[in-house]
């Protein structure tokens, strides 16, 4: 069967026999994807057994709540970022903003809010993981600081696990919303994250293994940054020195999104950050682009957990 015959068949079964109201956008997408699938079945000689294996895999993926994990794992989420970058360039979005990168599946809405500063960890890893200060400035691309910008931060613990999904952690551990102070600054006191690994027995890792791939991410910290008159930024920094920095199963590492860690232990540093023992330090600033009538929308609607 050639593509013409396939398209005719798809049309006969899913377009011509419509008797109710048609959502034309859904229709065009379904018709295109079915045509592409039928063509792939023909071209690759996909057998009934292989087809059902694939369909059962999709069912397992949903049942394990890993759709949002496979999507970055296959590069689909990063691909959408690259498309958005191209759309921004086309639309003439101002240059110099902090690069976007994928949200991933582990954001939880409803984290505690504060102004300027937050302690993010619940103390459970005190003496186990290094203390980490993360701070920076939110500004426009010209460096004008943005007070009252909403900085949502979330990251993993020392096992690479995220609260809410990991029920051994306290509610909202390592998740906070910090509004920048009058100087556009945010500061977080937290613990060093460790890179995430896909559940070894889950469907995502099962497919990655069939592709000869690992399911590891470098150590990283996620952000949503929102400010009036600016485009919402979804991004993360990945931490220099991690063996997976440029071998991220989710392809989130990008130039401009690499954080370097400093060691701080001087009496002045301890005093400035109100700490009594040596700590790790990351400075990470953000530059937001102006929201104009022609700039593409950066808000992504997707199902998210609510803590
Ligand atoms: C993560 O922590 C993550 O950021 C992504 C993209 C996928 C899985 C786990
Ligand atoms: Fe993550």
| Residue 277 Cα to ligand 1 middle (Å) | 31
Considering just the CA atoms, what is the radius of gyration of the chain in Å?
23
The whole-number pLDDT of residue 256 equals 98
| Cβ of residue 102 lying under 6 Å from some atom of ligand 1 | yes
Q: Residue-wise pLDDT tens for the chain (307 aa)? A: 999 999 999 999 999 999 999 999 999 999 999 999 999 999 999 999 999 999 999 999 999 999 999 999 999 999 999 999 999 999 999 999 999 999 999 999 999 999 999 999 999 999 999 999 999 999 999 999 999 999 999 999 999 999 999 999 999 999 999 999 999 999 999 999 999 999 999 999 999 999 999 999 999 999 999 999 999 999 999 999 999 999 999 999 999 999 999 999 999 999 999 999 999 999 999 999 999 999 999 999 999 999 9
The whole-number pLDDT of residue 101 equals 99
Other residues' Cβ atoms within 10 Å of the Cβ of residue 165: 13
Q: Return the ligand 1 atom nearest residue 68 CA.
A: 7
d(CA 283, CA 287): 14
Pairing of strands 175-179, 150-155: antiparallel
pLDDT tens digits for range 44-63: 999 999 999 999 999 999 99
CA-nearest of 15, 48, 59, 57 to 34 is: 15
d(CA 199, CA 156): 14
pLDDT tens digits for range 165-209: 999 999 999 999 999 999 999 999 999 999 999 999 999 999 999
Q: Cα dist. 76→31, 56, 71, 177, 225 in Å? A: 20, 21, 5, 28, 23
List the residue whose alpha carbon is closest to atom 4 of ligand 1. 104
| Residue 106 Cα to ligand 2 middle (Å) | 6
Pairing of strands 175-179, 117-119: unpaired
| Cβ of residue 69 lying under 6 Å from some atom of ligand 1 | yes
DSSP letter assigned to residue 190: E
Q: What is the pTM of this model?
A: 0.97
List the residue whose alpha carbon is closest to atom 5 of ligand 1. 104
| Residue 69 Cα to ligand 1 middle (Å) | 7
Q: Which ligand is nearest to the CA of 66?
A: 1
| Residue 16 Cα to ligand 2 middle (Å) | 45
d(CA 239, CA 245): 7
Beta bridge partners of 239: 259
């Amino acid at each position: 069967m050639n593509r013409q015959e396939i398209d005719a068949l798809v049309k006969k079964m899913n377009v011509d026999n419509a008797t109710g109201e048609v959502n034309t956008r859904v229709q065009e997408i379904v018709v295109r994807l079915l045509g592409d699938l039928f063509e792939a079945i023909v071209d690759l000689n996909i057998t009934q057994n292989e087809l059902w294996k694939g369909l059962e895999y999709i069912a397992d993926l949903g049942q394990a709540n890993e759709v949002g994990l496979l999507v970055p794992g296959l590069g689909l989420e990063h691909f959408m970022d690259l498309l958005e970058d191209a759309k921004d360039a086309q639309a003439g979005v101002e240059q110099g903003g902090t690069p976007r990168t994928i949200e991933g599946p582990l954001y939880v809405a409803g984290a505690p809010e504060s102004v300027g500063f937050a302690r993010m960890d619940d103390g459970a890893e005190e003496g186990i993981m290094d203390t980490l200060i993360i701070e920076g400035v939110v500004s426009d691309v010209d460096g004008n600081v943005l007070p009252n910008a909403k900085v949502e931060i979330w990251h993993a613990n020392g096992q690479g696990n995220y609260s809410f999904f990991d029920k051994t952690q306290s509610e909202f551990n390592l998740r906070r919303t910090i509004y920048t102070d009058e100087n556009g600054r945010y500061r977080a006191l937290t613990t060093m994250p460790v890179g995430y690994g896909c559940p070894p027995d889950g469907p995502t890792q099962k497919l990655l293994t069939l592709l000869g791939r690992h399911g590891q991410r470098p150590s990283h910290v996620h952000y949503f940054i929102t400010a009036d008159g600016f485009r919402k930024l979804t991004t993360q920094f990945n931490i220099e020195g991690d063996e997976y920095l440029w071998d991220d199963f989710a392809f989130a590492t990008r130039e401009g999104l690499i954080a370097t860690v400093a060691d701080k232990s001087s009496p002045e540093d301890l005093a400035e950050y109100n700490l009594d023992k040596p700590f790790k330090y990351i400075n990470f600033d953000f530059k937001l682009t102006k929201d104009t009538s022609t700039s593409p929308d950066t808000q992504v609607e997707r199902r998210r957990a609510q803590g």
